[in-house]
Chain A
Amino acid sequence: MTTSTRATWPDAESLWSSNDRALEMARAVLGAADAPVGLTPKELIWRKNKARLYRYARPGPATHRTPVFLILPLINRAYILDLRPGASFVEFLVGEGFDVFLIDWGTPGDEDRALDITTLVTRYLPRAVTAIRKATGKDQVTALGYCIGGALATCFAALHPEVTRNLVLLTAPLDFADAGQFGRMTARGIFPVDRLTETFPTVPGQVPDIGSKLLNPIANYMGTYQRLWQKLGDPDFDVQGWQAMYRWVNDSVPFAGAAFRQWIVEFYQENRLARDMLEMDGRPVRLASIRCPVLNIAASRDQIAPRATTGIVTNRVGSRDASEILIEGGHVGIVVGRTASQNLWPRVGAWLSEHD
């Protein structure tokens, strides 16, 4: 048998099938901005500036005593924890009988250029917790923070141990001594943080977004589309699920200038929290002041919050009940990926039930 090395023209059927798939791909990408997300019913119970505190509707009274307060990162949309029915951590918690609250930081404008992390931790979070206490009649909450929201939750728990029943951290970077690629990109003398925050009152969401995508540029810029191309050939592929995730990944939020500066300088460059040098409103923020039970969740392949940045909390808090769960996956995948509902969510739910 002879083997031809010449290129063969595709037959008409495969040519049109490929053409159809390309059109489907374009439709999936272009339609992602309208993908329905954040559908679990909720009620607005408190607001301040752009921040909104929501309480998720329950079919009946909560079966657990302690309300769960979800604290989201500043650079991402809040619907990541309530992506879509069946892929929603919020929906899971509500189904397990928890009274769930979430703070959505909203979109800062130029008028928020002076809004820093200290203000969010000392002026916003305590008032949101007061609103939760008034709404539920309970004295304490479980603070559950994701990514930067985890750092905020940690600072809050250190400053307000009297109202923090438990602290749960999802891939929350706290120790920046070895912050990986992000640490190198934002190093003092390299990253022009002052010039950036002088130029932009709110740092465009694309800046941290590009930084995250550059951690794995081929997979993030090309792999996303390559995987979509392959999956579109699978009749069981859930296009809406892909669109919801694609929408979230590309729906970045501007970072208020002062908050961005404080995050880069005090957390990344000076590592003040881990070095016991962080102060907020003249009060020391110390990990040792956290006396409530702590659950720290880390992702094995996390490039945004590498293991070296998340592990510190269990050894340094003042609590005797501090544990860690390491989950196989990446920074976002462990929270909303296909296996999250079998892996992360039930483990967090069980821990919260035990510590209610």
Chain B
Amino acid sequence: MSKTEEASHSTDAFEIWRQLYDANERAWSAALEQAMGSREFGESSGKLLETLLAAQKSVRESMRTYLETMNVPTREDIARLGELVVGLEEKVDQLGDRLDGIEEALRAKRAKSAQ
């Protein structure tokens, strides 16, 4: 029996998996590409995602209610604090930008008066 024949009759699970993949990859990919390229697939996956999101939202809301009842800060509370810090950092950056602008204008003025 040839080596190829021998391999094709192997009971080694990994080798069987590799052969199965090699033999079918192209056909599987083509079939899936065709199926997933359709509008129907897009609509169906959109609906699935919406359902999962509705479930997730419900879990999040229940958890928030529970934490509020227990007087424990929620994710939203902590995020709000974070937003304040990020907002403050932006204000400091804006002040820095204005200072840079003033410095640049002064430098230009000095250079002009030196001429």
CB-based contact B50/A223 at 8 Å: no
Q: What residues of chain B lie closer than 8 Å to A22, measured between beta carbons? A: 14
The CA-CA distance from A5 to B57 in the complex, in Å, is: 56
The CA-CA distance from A6 to B5 in the complex, in Å, is: 10
**Quick check: which of A105-113, A272-280, A331-339, A346-354 contacts chain B, the rest being far away?**
A105-113
Q: What residues of chain B lie closer than 8 Å to A113, measured between beta carbons? A: 79
Q: What residues of chain B lie closer than 8 Å to A342, measured between beta carbons? A: none
Q: What residues of chain B lie closer than 8 Å to A6, measured between beta carbons? A: 9
Q: What residues of chain B lie closer than 8 Å to A110, measured between beta carbons? A: 75-76, 78-79, 82
Tally of chain A residues near chain B (CB < 8 A): 47
Q: What residues of chain A lie closer than 8 Å to B98, measured between beta carbons? A: none
Closest 8 CB pairs of A and B: A111-B82, A110-B79, A190-B46, A218-B29, A111-B79, A190-B42, A192-B50, A111-B83
Give which listed residue, A14, A112, A195, A217, contacts B12 with CB less than 8 A.
A14
Q: Does B102 contact A (CB under 8 A)?
A: no
Q: What residues of chain A lie closer than 8 Å to B90, measured between beta carbons? A: 123
Q: Does B73 contact A (CB under 8 A)?
A: no
A-B contact pairs, 28 of them (CB 8 A): A7-B9, A8-B9, A8-B10, A10-B10, A10-B11, A18-B14, A49-B86, A109-B79, A110-B76, A111-B81, A114-B83, A123-B93, A181-B37, A190-B42, A190-B43, A192-B46, A192-B49, A195-B54, A196-B49, A198-B57, A199-B56, A199-B60, A201-B79, A216-B29, A222-B21, A223-B25, A226-B22, A229-B18
The CA-CA distance from A249 to B82 in the complex, in Å, is: 29
CB-based contact B25/A218 at 8 Å: yes
CB-based contact A112/B86 at 8 Å: yes
Q: What residues of chain A lie closer than 8 Å to B60, measured between beta carbons? A: 199
Q: What residues of chain A lie closer than 8 Å to B45, measured between beta carbons? A: 185
Q: How many contacts A-B (CB < 8 Å)? A: 108
CB-based contact B36/A181 at 8 Å: yes
Contact A226 B79, CB 8 Å, known A15-B12, A190-B42: no
Q: What residues of chain A lie closer than 8 Å to B68, measured between beta carbons? A: none
Kindly report which residue of chain A lies nearest to residue B84, judged by CB atoms. Answer: A111
Within 8 A of A (CB), among B56-115: 56-57, 60, 75-76, 78-83, 85-86, 89-90, 93, 97, 100
Q: What residues of chain B lie closer than 8 Å to A196, measured between beta carbons? A: 49, 53
The CA-CA distance from A48 to B85 in the complex, in Å, is: 11
Task: Report the contact-size class of chain B (Cβ under 8 Å from the partner).
Answer: 35 or more
Nearest Cβ on chain B to A311's Cβ, whole angstroms: 21
Q: What residues of chain B lie closer than 8 Å to A8, measured between beta carbons? A: 6, 9-11
Q: Does A355 contact B (CB under 8 A)?
A: no
The CA-CA distance from A222 to B76 in the complex, in Å, is: 39
Contact A214 B46, CB 8 Å, known A5-B9, A109-B79: no
The CA-CA distance from A114 to B29 in the complex, in Å, is: 38
CB-based contact A7/B11 at 8 Å: yes
Nearest Cβ on chain A to B80's Cβ, whole angstroms: 8
Q: Mark A4-24, 1 if CB is under 8 A from B, else 0.
A: 111111100011001001100
Q: Does A312 contact B (CB under 8 A)?
A: no
Most chain B Cβ neighbours within 10 Å, of A4, A18, A22, A111:
A111
Q: What residues of chain B lie closer than 8 Å to A4, measured between beta carbons? A: 1, 9
Contact A219 B18, CB 8 Å, known A4-B1, A49-B86, A199-B56: no
